[in-house]
Amino acid sequence: MKNNIPAQIVSIIKNRIPTQIIPILAVGAVLALVILNMDISSMSQNSHASDAESEKAGSIPRGEHGGWLFSKNDLQVEVKIFETGIPPEFRVYVTDVSGKTVPLDEVGMTIILNRLDRVDEVHFKPVGKYLLGDKIIVEPHSFDVEILAQWKGKTYQWEFSQIEARVELPEEAITNADIAFATVGPAKLNRILRLSGEIGLNEEKVVHIVPRLDGVVIKVFKDLGDRVTEGEVIAILESRELADAKINYLATIKNFNLAKIDLERETLLVKNTALMLDLLEQELDLDKVYRDLKDVQIGKSRELIIPAYAKLKLAKSVYLREKKLFKKGISSESEYLLAEENYKSAEAKYIALREKIAYDGPWTVRQKKRTTEMEQFSLQTARQKLFALGLTRRELNALTNQKEHAFTRHELRSPLKGMIIKKHLTTGEAVKKDDDVFLLADFSDVWVNITIPAKDLKNVRLGQNVLVRDDNLEIETQGKLTYLDSIIDKKTRTVTGRVVIPNPQMRWRPGSFVTVELIIETRTVPLAVSTEAIQTIRDWSVVFVKYGNFFEARPLELGENDGTWVEVLDGLSQGEQYVAHNSFVIKAEIEKSSAVHDH
């Protein structure tokens, strides 16, 4: 490797590194290799590769402003990364080969920076005596550079590499060093208050089972500690009160069905009566009316209206005939007037009867509808009474087919899934409707009652996330603070808080003492890395981002740190891979590689 290094570079290295520091660096490199159990030959090879890349930029001549100096034909450009008191920026000074300043508005300039993760394209505009780039050159200044210039119709191009804070490691070295990776993304930062607590039953899922009616116990199916499912029969009683309620329910069903049938028939009659009145309104011949209404159910209104309609038709016919004869002088005036009177009388009677039928029909329907609704109300009341006594909908539907001797049978069912923790009945015992015969608890979730000192209340609020831990059983789970007492205990100066936690395997036993970690504040940050990953290079806080087998230090602007995660305000993008474990190995290799910040 040394034979390939130009003499100029060797001279620069000798001048920049004091002689007494060289042994220290050598000892440090050897110790690092021993500790990390790495493949020495491969690590050395990568270290020298980085040296060569860095020296490529260092071998370029410098201009009067300290920048890289490039010449081709009749054009000369000096490229400088200026960062004194301002964010780093490119400044390009352009002259001809004689050193005479070239009008900057005649020069087009573009610099392309090929980084490991992206390509940055920098464009320039004249500012005073130089061309100024339009982008901040973010750290690290590690990239392959392409310079493109246009002047007087000609294109000029130069390329070089500026490498710093970067190293390449083979897979074997990564494995030997036990380097682990993580992905940049959102994380939750917590501030924690530790308190003591006690596991208790979820009182919202504790049920006292009572018979709801007086009776005698026929059979008991469950004992203390037995598990039950929702709706499972746990005991059978015999009750006369239940038999009365069932009989009343069946009677109301029959009354309602009769009322419903009566209403349906009356509705049909009214509908058909309206059809009959429409036909009569057309003044059809009686024979046609008879034919059209022959098979239609109409009821008493047919008996009333058809004769009246027939009399009206006859009276009208006589009246018209007498009127015609009277005009011809054949019939006397008295006969004509008598026929007219009979016609008017028949017409009035028909109209009155028609109006009565048109009103009476809907009125009768309304009356029968009201009767049906009252019977339906009675049926609903009887049904709700049976529900209140503990019958299920399935039992109610099967009641019409139930044998008479089973009317007194009452099945006592579990209202929820759980375990019997108390029992107060035996076979043959007479029980009252309000006797507490079983106590049932659902252990699928339990309460954690927390004792919170008054001085810590300022950090406590409903909805906070809580970690519950039983150190004896070595179990833990998470929940939220769902209850906070409004009154401070006068003696203990504490307040009771409550957390509901899941208990599917019944490992959390009521009465156990636990440790509670109350998360005072949880803040989700969009980007975070593990605190273990952070290293320091120069005055930067960095993590090492992975690109294939290359690792590059990425300077970060950091936010809050909770000991596990540290917020990243700037310097990383979501989804990037970084070294999360044993990152100091990468730092040691970069420091050995001598990739310097020199521009």
- Tens of pLDDT, residue by residue over 157-200, are 999 998 888 999 999 999 999 999 999 999 998 888 889 999 99
Determine the average pLDDT of the residues in 111-134.
93
By CB atoms closer than 10 A (0-12, 13-18, 19+), residue 256 is buried
> Are 30 and 162 part of one and the same domain?
yes
pLDDT at 288: 85
Determine the average pLDDT of the residues in 17-29.
43
By CB atoms closer than 10 A (0-12, 13-18, 19+), residue 120 is middle
Residue 420 lies in a domain: no
> Are 118 and 57 part of one and the same domain?
yes
pLDDT at 57: 67
Q: Which residues contact 330 (CB under 8 A, 6 or more apart)?
A: none
Residue 516 lies in a domain: no
Residue 277 lies in a domain: yes
> Are 128 and 186 part of one and the same domain?
no
Determine the average pLDDT of the residues in 337-347.
92
Residue 513 lies in a domain: no
> Are 186 and 110 part of one and the same domain?
no
> Are 140 and 183 part of one and the same domain?
no
> Are 100 and 184 part of one and the same domain?
no
How many whole angstroms separate alpha carbon 368 and alpha carbon 375?
Answer: 11
> Are 159 and 276 part of one and the same domain?
no
**Interstrand relation of 227-228 and 418-423 (parallel, antiparallel or unpaired):** antiparallel
> Are 123 and 187 part of one and the same domain?
no
pLDDT at 194: 87
Residue 33 lies in a domain: yes
Task: Give the closest residue to 562 by CA, choosing from 520, 591, 511, 499.
Answer: 520
CATH code of the domain covering residue 74: 2.60.40.3340
How many whole angstroms separate alpha carbon 410 and alpha carbon 390?
Answer: 8
> Are 94 and 152 part of one and the same domain?
yes
pLDDT at 599: 59
- Tens of pLDDT, residue by residue over 471-530, are 899 899 999 999 999 999 999 999 999 999 999 999 999 999 999 988 887 889 999 999
Token pair recorded at residue 133: 């780039």
pLDDT at 31: 40
Question: Which one of 361, 385, 409 terminates a domain?
Answer: 385
pLDDT at 44: 33
pLDDT at 521: 79
Lowest mean per-residue pLDDT among 25-29, 47-51, 170-174, 549-553: 47-51
Residue 457 lies in a domain: no
- The whole model's pTM is what? 0.44
The continuous run of DSSP H or E covering 439 comes out as: strand 438-441
Domains in the chain, number? 3
How many whole angstroms separate alpha carbon 577 and alpha carbon 584?
Answer: 16
Would you say 439 and 417 are in contact if contact means Cβ atoms under 8 Å apart? no
Residue 272 lies in a domain: yes
Residue 532 lies in a domain: yes
- DSSP state letters, 97-154: TTSPBPPGGGEEEEEEEE-SS-EEEEEEEEETTEEEEEEE-PSS--EEEEEEEEETTE
> Are 109 and 136 part of one and the same domain?
yes
Structure-token match 């004896």, residue found: 472
> Are 274 and 160 part of one and the same domain?
no
Does the pLDDT value for residue 367 go beyond 60?
yes
- Tens of pLDDT, residue by residue over 188-238, are 988 888 899 999 999 999 999 999 888 899 999 999 989 999 989 999 999
Where in the sequence is the domain holding 372, given as residue range(s)? 248-385
Q: Pick the residue with more confidence: 21 or 533?
A: 533
How many residues can be counted in the chain?
Answer: 599
> Are 15 and 86 part of one and the same domain?
yes
